[in-house]
Each structure stands twice: as C-alpha cells, then as structure tokens.
A and B are shown apart, each in its own frame.
Chain A
Amino acid sequence: MSYLTVRTRQADDALVVYIDGYLNSLMGEEVERVVQEALDAGRRKVLLNFEGTRLINSIGISIIIDIVEKIMERNGMLAFCALSRINRELFQMTGVARYVQAFDLEEEALGYFAQSS
C-alpha cells in the first residue's frame, strides 16, 4: 500500500512542507508542485519536514533532487528536518546531503532560516 499526504504551512517567510506517507510513486510530484508554486509566488525558503515519511525510494530521490535543483536555480534556501536514520543515510549516499542541511527539529531549521535573512 502506498499513500502520501502533502500538507504545507507558512512559517514567517518560509514554506514548511510535511511529507506524510510513502515518497515512492508519482503522487510525490505533488511535493514538486507545492514547492514550484511557492517559488513562483516569490518565496525563497523551503523546509521539508520528513517526520511522517515512512519510506523514500529512488522515485522519491528523483523528486527531492528536482526540488534541490529548482531552489538552487532561484538562489533559494532549502532545509530538511526530522529525518529518520535510514533517510539521513539515504541522502548521504545519494549526495543530496552535501547540498542541504538537515536539522533534528523544525524550530531549529526555522531558526536557521531566520538568522540567514
């Protein structure tokens, strides 16, 4: 069974995206869509919260890489938070971790964004 719920919330000038479920199918393109929408609306800071993410596979990695690329192109800021050990390792292995800083807590990531502005 593969399900995915993508929720967003605005925290000051940052968009927090909650990825709940399985990031392993075309449903994951919803994450790309909400990020693209935020960038198009002029936002530059995006935090992906993986607390509810059960699994990320190669399709999910492709989606995350696309988001990294989109935000880089716009000189934006991207951060991850609440990664499980397995997902943290996955991002290291795939090289994504070199470009995105990961935080344990959402507040820490938002605090980092606030300092950078």
Chain B
Amino acid sequence: MVISRSRPESARTGGERIPAGRREAFKLKALRDFTLCLARARDFDESLHLSLMVILGSFSIVKGALLLREDGEFRVRVSRGLPPGMPPIETSKELVAALRRSGRPVLMGRREVPGAIRKAAEGMEHAVPAFSVDVLCPLGTRSGPLGLLALGPTITGEPLTVGERETLGVMTSFLSAHISNHRVMSDIFRLNEVLRFQVQENERLITGMQEIYLDTIRALATAIEAKDPYTRGHSERVARISVSIAKGLDLPEKEVEAIHIASILHDVGKIGTARSILTKPSPLTAGEIREIQRHPQTSFEILSEIKFPYPNVAQLARDHHEWLDGTGYPHGKRDRQISMGARIIALADAFDAMVSDRPYRDSLPLVAALGEIKSCLRRHYDPIVGRMFFRSLRGELSGEHREDPVFTALGERYSRGDAVAFLDRTLQDLR
C-alpha cells in the first residue's frame, strides 16, 4: 500500500528531520497566504473559498464548511470535502448568545462546550454523517455573530496544538472583519442603488415638467405670432440659433436655459402693438416706429411677473434690440451694460428677420444677410457671438446636426458653395 488508511500513524515515511524554525515559518506563511487571499480575491465568494482552503491547508484539515448568517439562519456558503446540500442551522437565541460569549474557536472534544454550540455541531454531523466537527469557530463582531466555520479532524487525527489554535483564532478574526466589511459595503451599495433609483425617478419627473413648461411657453409665443403671420415660427428659429451659440460659447447650463426661454418669448411684448402696424406693407411713420420699439419694454413687463426657474429671462427679452454702440433701444445700453445672453438673442433675431419675408420687404439672400451681420460686428453685434454664429452655420452647411438642424429657414436663394466660401473668409478675418 502506498497510502494507508490507518491514522494516526506515528512513523514518518519521509524519514528526515525538519530543521528548527520551519514550522514557525510555515505558520507565518499561512497567515500571509490568508491575508493575501482576502485582499486579492476577485469577489466575495472567491475570498471565502480561498480562506477556507488556506485554513484547511494550514492545519492539514480534510473537511470544512463556512456558514454565513442570513435571514435568521446559518447557511453553508462554501465547503470542502463535503457533499453539497447541507441544510442551514437555525439561529436560536441560545446559539447566538453562546457564540457571542465564546468568541474564539471551540474544540468540540472538550467537556465545557456550551449546549447550543454542541447542538449546532451535532446538527451538521447528523445531516452529513461523513463530517465529524472537531472545531467550531464563531465568526462575528461586537454587534453579533456573522457566521460559523466548522472544521473536521486533521489528516493525522491529531488535535490542533495550542499554537495552531492561536493562529486559527487570528485567521478567524481576520475573516470576521472581512465578512463584516463586505456586509457594510453591500448595505452601502444597496442604499446607493435605492438613492440612484430615486434620483432617476426625480429626473424623469423634472424632465416631464420641463416639457410641459416649454410647451406652455411655446404656446404663448405662438399666440403672439398669430397676430403677426409674417413672423410665424420666428421665435422658435431665434431660440434654436441662440441656444446653439450659447452652448458653443460654453455658457453655464442655467444661462443657456434662460436664453432658451427668453429667445422664445422675446417678442411677447408685441401683444401690445397694433396689428395694423405689425402687418403694414409700407414704410412705418416715426410714430409707428416709436410704438413698435416699445415691444421689448412690454415684453419685460409681462415676463417680470413670471417666476422663471432661470435667471434674468425678462431682462434678456428687454435688451434684445440693444446694440453695442448704444444706438439700440429701448434704453440705448452699450457694451458691458448688455448681457451676453441679450447680445446672442439680438444677433439671432436680426439674422432671422433678414432672411424672412416681411410685409414691407422681401427676404435678403443668405450671403447678403451674412454680409450685413459681418459689417455690423462691433457696432451692433458682439464679434465673439458673431464668430460662434458663423461657425455654427458653417458646421451645419457641412452636414453637422443633420438630425436636429439649428438653421431651419435659410431661404432658397443661396448657393451652398458661396455661403461656405463667405463663412470661411469671415472666420479667417475674425481670428
């Protein structure tokens, strides 16, 4: 026989003596293996699997099972040398109290083993007759038991030495801390998931509310446009161009939203302008011009009454006809007195008006309108805004934002090649 079934057997077949210190080194290496396997395992189950293997290997134990406390019972999470299907052990009050009290590995051969612990071990032996529980290690922290480590006899049948029991005690405390950490991390993760779900739900609700809100604003703008059929769709087009420029300039999100709303509603003050003036097919008189120039102030007065969730919406609408050189209206503001948002809406509004038909004139061809904007940079329009506007249009003519175009009414009378050439020249000049 090369292997023998009778154990223990005192004669060593190897024959040689083991140098002094080797056992100590083996014990230290086992502890190192143990901490490494806890740290390097890919997941929690693998860490438990490796822990059990290191413990069994360190003490030459043939069979063992690691049970974790879940839903009021200790369930086998990993085992070695045992058939699958070991039933869980109920966590009675007595067992929990006994495990808390003992805190360290319990040798089942001793007389003073608490009744509840002995009963738990016998329960396992009854379920798996091939398993004789020699040592039962409580796993847990001060807040209570987390699990159990049941170990069978050593391969030689000899009991663990005092030193080995101490090493096992150190390993089980590490293992307890590891399981406790995992529990805490799982709780945090679960809580995080609940919060994440709640945040998503809130975002969904907010998005829904924003859509309703934007629809209401658009409806208001459409009501004004109904009064002046020549400006149909104007608000929405100005809004698209303005938002594109604002985003291109990397303005803060709240400011972009304010610009979005203000550009939709910039002409809301025209509600107070006589329809006959808005639709007059001939040049306006000085009095009519004065009346129409009141609309930005009226827009301001209407919008000031609304509490928007974004800053300065009413001011942006009021200042959309102000020019950098102070020749705009209603207040003749200049340079820095005009906010960036108002400068953006001013340019977008002017451009859309130029390329649209009006009662008193036909639309300008695209390149002519662009030339007009270019020639008015610095005097009327902000060159930084102008450059971003040209760049955005250049991008669209090259095929960008095809799915959601910014420029929806450029007219028919232009050659793409000419427009691109003009834009490239202009962007070169504005460098």
A interface residues (Cβ-Cβ under 8 A, vs B): 24, 26, 57-63, 65-66, 68-69, 71-72, 75-79, 88-102, 112-113, 116
Identity of the chain A residue whose Cβ is nearest the Cβ of B61 in the assembled complex: A65
User: Which listed residue (B37, B49, B155) contacts A99, Cβ 8 A?
Assistant: B155
In chain B, residues 138-176, which have Cβ atoms closer than 8 Å to a Cβ of chain A?
A: 154-156, 158
> How many of chain B's residues have a CB under 8 angstroms from any CB in A?
42
* Binary per-residue interface labels of chain B (31-44) against chain A in the complex, 1 for a CB within 8 Å, 0 otherwise: 00110010000000
Chain B residues whose C-beta falls within 8 Å of the C-beta of A89 in the assembled complex: 14, 16, 18-19, 22
Contact A59 B53, beta carbon cutoff 8 Å: yes
Asked if residues B33 and A57 are in contact (CB atoms below 8 Å), the reply is yes
Which residue of B has the minimal Cβ distance to A77? B2
Report which of B19, B81, B158 forms a contact with A66, defined as CB distance below 8 A.
B81
Question: B1-37: which residues lie under 8 A (CB-CB) from chain A?
Answer: 1-5, 7-9, 11-14, 16, 18-19, 22-23, 26, 29-30, 33-34, 37
Give chain B interface residues in 36-64, CB to chain A under 8 Å: 37, 46, 49-50, 53-58, 60-63
Could you give 30 example pairs across A and B, Cβ below 8 Å? Answer: A26-B50, A58-B30, A58-B57, A58-B58, A62-B53, A63-B53, A65-B56, A66-B62, A66-B80, A66-B81, A68-B155, A69-B81, A69-B155, A89-B16, A89-B18, A89-B19, A90-B26, A91-B14, A92-B16, A93-B18, A93-B23, A94-B57, A95-B60, A95-B154, A98-B4, A98-B156, A100-B3, A112-B2, A113-B2, A116-B1
Give the residues in chain A near B155, CB-CB below 8 Å: 65, 68-69, 94-96, 98-99
Query: Do A102 and B14 touch (CB < 8 A)?
Result: yes
CB <8 Å contact, A65 and B3: no
Q: Which residue of A lies closest to B156 (CB)?
A: A95
Chain A residues with CB below 8 A from B14, complex form: 88-89, 91-92, 97, 102
- A97 engages B13 (CB within 8 Å): yes
- Best-surrounded residue of A26, A91, A95, A96 (most CB of chain B within 10 A): A95
How far is it, in angstroms, between the C-alpha of A104 and the C-alpha of B203 when the chains are bound?
Answer: 72
Report the Cα distance A116→B61, complex, angstroms.
29
Residues of A within 8 A of B9 (CB): 98-99
Q: Nearest chain-A residue to B46 (Cβ)?
A: A26
Shortest Cβ distance from residue A66 to the other chain B in the assembled complex, whole angstroms: 6
Q: A19 CA to B158 CA in the complex, in Å?
A: 29
Q: How far is the CB of B170 from chain A (nearest CB, A)?
A: 14
Find the B residue at minimum CB distance from A56.
Answer: B57
Contact A92 B53, beta carbon cutoff 8 Å? no
7 extra interchain contacts, Cβ-Cβ under 8 A, other than A63-B53, A93-B18, A116-B1? Answer: A58-B53, A61-B58, A66-B80, A88-B16, A89-B22, A93-B26, A101-B13
The answer to whether A116 touches B154, judged by C-beta atoms less than 8 angstroms apart, is no
Top 4 nearest A-B pairs (CB, nearest first) are A58-B57, A62-B57, A61-B57, A95-B156
B3 touches A59 (CB 8 A): no
Q: Determine whether the beta carbon of B2 is less than 8 Å from that of A116.
A: yes
Give the chain B neighbours of A102 by CB distance below 8 A: 13-14
List, in ascending order, chain A residues with CB within 8 A of B55's CB: 58
